[in-house]
Amino acid sequence: MRILLIEDDYVLGEAVRDHIAADGHGVDWMRALGAAEEALATTAYDLVLLDLNLPDGHGIDLLRALRKRGVVTPVIILTAQDQIASRIDGLNAGADDYLVKPFNLSELSARLGAVARRYGGNPSPKLLLSDLEIDTALRSVVRDHHAVDLTAREWAVFERLIRSPGILVSKAQIEDALFEFGAEVESNAVEVYVSRLRKKLGRESVETVRGLGYRVKN
């Protein structure tokens, strides 16, 4: 997924960014609302992690503005405000989930996955595609009763494809899910990851449609 992290605390922001990146996601980290608004205007994000108290305003105002404009990108609020009233305000403004600081990074990963599945129209973490048994919560794949070990980047590519089985996903869309602003991306990076997936999951696991993109079969 391509994730926008809006957090002004450097220590926490760095920890969250590094954790998300280690999971294979592309993450852009902004420390103020102004920068976040510019990022949202130019990039299609799969999910937003939103702090509330920021140097140039309140995160709830940004959330309300997004929902007013019809932006449906899922938002998880990250805040030290643990009062029930604050949680209710955030949820009523359009937040999809709420994490109170300090939080466990593993729990954050689980909530990211759960929210993404709900928006993808399949709240169950388990999928069956051809001869592959997939658990998106555990990030596991079983082929012919044997577990397949995927790296974080390989899983990120595979997850982007299985999010829309049978639908073509362009190379640019996969790159957007993997890499943040300013990242140095090898021109053949996606092709390399797809090749690795085919070696591990079978040559028919990912179909290439020349000039258009990639897809997995239903």
Considering the domain architecture, whether residues 31 and 79 belong to the same structural domain is answered as yes
**In contact, 76 and 112? CB cutoff 8 Å:** yes
- Check whether residue 114 and residue 158 sit in a common domain: no
Phi, psi (deg, nearest 5) at residue 192: -65, -45
The tokens of 148 are what? Answer: 């397949």
Based on the domain organization, do 41 and 91 belong to the same domain?
A: yes
- Pair 142, 101 in one domain: no
**133 and 105: one domain?**
no
Residues 112 and 150 in one domain: no
Whether residue 61 is found in the same domain as residue 158? no
Both 140 and 185 in one domain: the answer is yes
Boundary (domain end) residue, out of 74, 100, 119: 119
Sequence-distant (6+) residues with CB within 8 A of 81 are 52, 53, 100
Mark whether 101 and 28 lie in a shared domain: yes
Could you say which of 66, 96, 119 is where a domain stops?
A: 119
What string of pLDDT tens digits covers the 218 residues of the chain? 899 999 999 999 999 999 999 888 889 999 999 999 999 998 889 999 999 989 999 999 999 999 999 999 999 999 887 778 778 888 899 999 989 888 999 999 999 988 888 877 666 778 888 889 998 888 889 998 899 999 988 998 998 898 888 889 999 888 887 877 766 667 788 999 999 999 999 988 899 988 889 999 77
Strand extents, DSSP E, the chain: 2-6, 26-30, 47-51, 53-54, 57-58, 75-79, 97-100, 126-129, 132-135, 140-143, 146-148, 207-209, 213-215
Radius of gyration of the chain from its Cα atoms, rounded to whole angstroms: 18
Count of domains forming the chain: 2
Same domain, 103 and 197: no
The CATH number of the domain where 92 resides is what? 3.40.50.2300
What CATH number is given to the structural domain containing 188?
1.10.10.10
Residue where a domain terminates, one of 119, 147, 166: 119
- Tokens representing 57 are 């305003």
pTM for the whole structure: 0.77
Residues 166 and 80 in one domain: no
Based on the fold, state whether residues 112 and 47 are members of the same structural domain: yes
Where in the sequence is the domain holding 159, given as residue range(s)?
Answer: 126-215
HEC per residue, 123-180:
CCCEEEECCEEEECCCCEEEECCEEECCCHHHHHHHHHHHCCCCCCECHHHHHHHHCC
